[in-house]
Structure 1
Amino acid sequence: MALGLQKLSNTETQNSILGKRKERPDAESDCSQINPLIPTNDDFSVTDAIAMDCEMVGVGQGNRSALGRVTMVNQWGNVLYDEFVRPVERVADFRTQISGIRPRDLRKAKDFSTAQKKVALLMKGRILVGHALSNDLKALLLSHPKKDLRDTSEYKPFLKGRRRKALRHLADEFLGAKIQSGEHCPIEDARAAMLLYQRNRKEWEKSIRDQMRLRQKQNKHNQKGKTNDGDSLNVNHVAIIS
């Protein structure tokens, strides 16, 4: 993965990266094969828009999902935070074929509350980009203002009718990038979501502004209607008394 972390000085690293997991050598090569997703610079600053992707493991009987890894990248695709996370409950299914998570990865993983606090700090006051973000936020037990969510699974130009497309299909169709052919790489997935957003940012943000203006207009209309109804009731009430 051409992140160029070793080029940063110790001071730069402390100032720009809040958390960084040491990756397995095989994971590094897996995440670097897709050229469109490789960052074009070494800017590790926390930008106004950041992308997140999570991988889940199974707890309970294995049918309930819990956070196993969380990754966040900046608008350039450089990693801001990437950690394996140890669930509170015992892991019944590592779901390795998809999650890429193995028992050894969780032995020295971050505890859930530590990872949760880091993620909350990073995304506070920023645009959060991702695919099916409701699942990731649910696993983190966090919320984020709807106006600051940019979900590639819900953006209308990415939909097929009313059906949502998988991230791998969006990456292939709009970026020419092949992802998720085997074990998922959350760095790769977060970069794909961010690049989809960046390439459509102007139109996407315009649609958000239009939606907000329409909502404000509707709210004003509703408030005006309530006021008029209240005035009518008061007039009738006075007439009856007199």
Structure 2
Amino acid sequence: MSKIKGKETPAGKTQQLTSKEKRKKFFIKHNRKKQTSQKTLNKKNLENPGAKQTAPPQDPQQFSSNWKALQEILKSSQPEKKQPVTPKHRNGVFPKKFKGNEPKKFQNKSPAPSQVHTDREGKVKSGDAPKEDGVKAKIHAALDKLQPGGARKRQNEKTDNEKPAKKKKPVTEERKPTEYDLWFDDVDPDDIEETMGAEAAEIMRRKQGMKTSKNVDSVLVKENAFDGITKAVAIDCEMVGVGPDGEDSILARVSIVNQFGKCIYDKYVKPTEKVTDYRTAVSGIRPEHIKNGEDVHVVQKEVAEILQGRIVVGHAIHNDLKILLLDHPKKHIRDTQKYKPFRKTVGSGRPSLKLLCREILHVKVQQGEHSSVQDAQATMRLYTLVKKQWEAELKASKKNSDSNKKNERRPRKKQNQ
């Protein structure tokens, strides 16, 4: 390694410098040069305060020592104001100069449209742009004079604020289904009604040769018919739950209709126990219905008087008679759930009233909350539909049972010895 000469000591001996001392010596020397250059620069600024500075002072002492010099430096650093550009005139024609004696008629006239300078994007420059809306109107008026027909075009033109809103997309009306849309014939009309609507279901029923569904009331009730008590009546009851979890049932509503579907009795029954389940989704009963209902004993008596000596029609009617605590002769009961032709038609051993009405009457009942009036009308309509056949079968079965009894041999009495 090369040896570095050090400082000579008073004794004449040389001392070698370490690397740390060398760095220290270099930085001190460099900082001195920087400080001297800064001082010379400050002196020049003080001598020539109007000179343009490339950068503001950085040393904080300069701000406090000479505030006036700083203000002058900042003023000198501001950009010079640009002089307005003289407008160019069309085809080199300059406006006439007015003489002293002539009146200045056109002093306040707005500049011609060619004098308004625009940039490449078509925007008016800030130095030449008019500040008032009235100026724009004057410019347009001048253009109209120069260009014939310009006023008409400008009247038709609309500003950005007056532009109409975007046109809404036309709402396409839903087209009713036709027979061409229902080209298939192997789908249940009820499924089509759920997905495509009632109109499509009616088309499919006609296509398959089925009876179209009608209004429920028009099917179940005969218009302009007798509205009193007839020989045959139909009954239906609604119940609510009592006891733990509403397992037990009590009477809540009783409805009776005559042979033509006309309602002859319909009453709500006041509960004798605390109701724990109103079963509203099925029964349609709510607290306000039975809060001021009729006493159950009064209802039992009135219903018993109506049913006495008459044919009573119902669906699973044993449940209705049981909840009313009433009894009725078996030969005067017509239960649509137990009628064998109905079971055979729908293919069920215990068909529901909803199923019988859908398959035989082609109407929909019990859609949501039940109504005891409608259920009674439905059972009566089922009965009247097959009344002659039903009654004939009962008479024939009665004759057969009577003949069988006669043909039975009676046991001989023992002769007295």
1:199 is the counterpart of 2:385: yes
Aligned twin of 2:355: 169
Runs of 4+ in structure 1 deviating by more than 6 angstroms, as ranges, are none
Q: Deviations over 1:36-82 (max 9, x none)?
A: 12331252111000000111111222111211101000011111100
Aligned twin of 1:125: 309
Distance 1:76 1:162 in 2: 27
CA displacement at 1:212 relative to structure 2: 1.6
Distance 1:197 1:116 in 2: 24
CA displacement at 1:114 relative to structure 2: 0.7
Distance 2:367 2:306 in 1: 29
The answer to whether the 8 A contact 1:158-1:164 is kept is no
CA displacement at 1:89 relative to structure 2: 2.3
CA displacement at 1:116 relative to structure 2: 0.7
Aligned twin of 1:10: none
The answer to whether the 8 A contact 2:281-2:369 is kept is yes
The answer to whether the 8 A contact 2:232-2:259 is kept is yes
For residue 69 of structure 1, give the secondary structure of its aligned residue in structure 2: strand
Matched letter for residue 359 of structure 2:
E
Aligned twin of 1:80: 264
1:56 is the counterpart of 2:242: no
Matched letter for residue 327 of structure 2:
S
Residue 104 of structure 1: which of 282, 288, 292 is its match?
288
Matched letter for residue 176 of structure 1:
H
- The 10-residue stretch of structure 1 (34-43 or 201-210) with the greater mean CA deviation from structure 2: 34-43
The TM-score, its normalising length taken from structure 1, stands at 0.78
Distance 1:84 1:192 in 2: 20
Distance 2:403 2:221 in 1: 42
The answer to whether the 8 A contact 2:216-2:363 is kept is no
For residue 159 of structure 1, give the secondary structure of its aligned residue in structure 2: helix
The answer to whether the 8 A contact 1:71-1:79 is kept is yes
**RMSD between aligned alpha carbons?**
1.7
Gaps of at least 5 residues in structure 1 are 1-31
Question: Do the aligned partners of residues 209 and 35 (structure 1) sit closer, same or farther apart at CA in structure 2, a change above 3 Å counting?
Answer: same
Distance 1:112 1:219 in 2: 43
1:212 is the counterpart of 2:392: no
Distance 1:214 1:94 in 2: 47
Aligned twin of 1:113: 297
For residue 363 of structure 2, give the secondary structure of its aligned residue in structure 1: coil
CA displacement at 1:135 relative to structure 2: 0.3
Distance 1:211 1:87 in 2: 42
Q: Percent identity?
A: 44
The answer to whether the 8 A contact 1:41-1:76 is kept is no
Matched letter for residue 148 of structure 1:
H
Residue 218 of structure 2: which of 23, 35, 40 is its match?
35
Distance 2:232 2:241 in 1: 30
CA displacement at 1:35 relative to structure 2: 3.1
Aligned twin of 1:134: 318
Distance 2:394 2:304 in 1: 23
Residue 66 of structure 1: which of 250, 253, 260 is its match?
250
Aligned twin of 1:12: none
Distance 2:266 2:220 in 1: 17
Pick 1 or 2: higher relative contact order, CA cutoff 8 A, min separation 6.
1
Distance 2:216 2:331 in 1: 34
Q: Which has the larger radius of gyration?
A: 2
For residue 67 of structure 1, give the secondary structure of its aligned residue in structure 2: strand
Matched letter for residue 81 of structure 1:
Y
The TM-score, its normalising length taken from structure 2, stands at 0.46
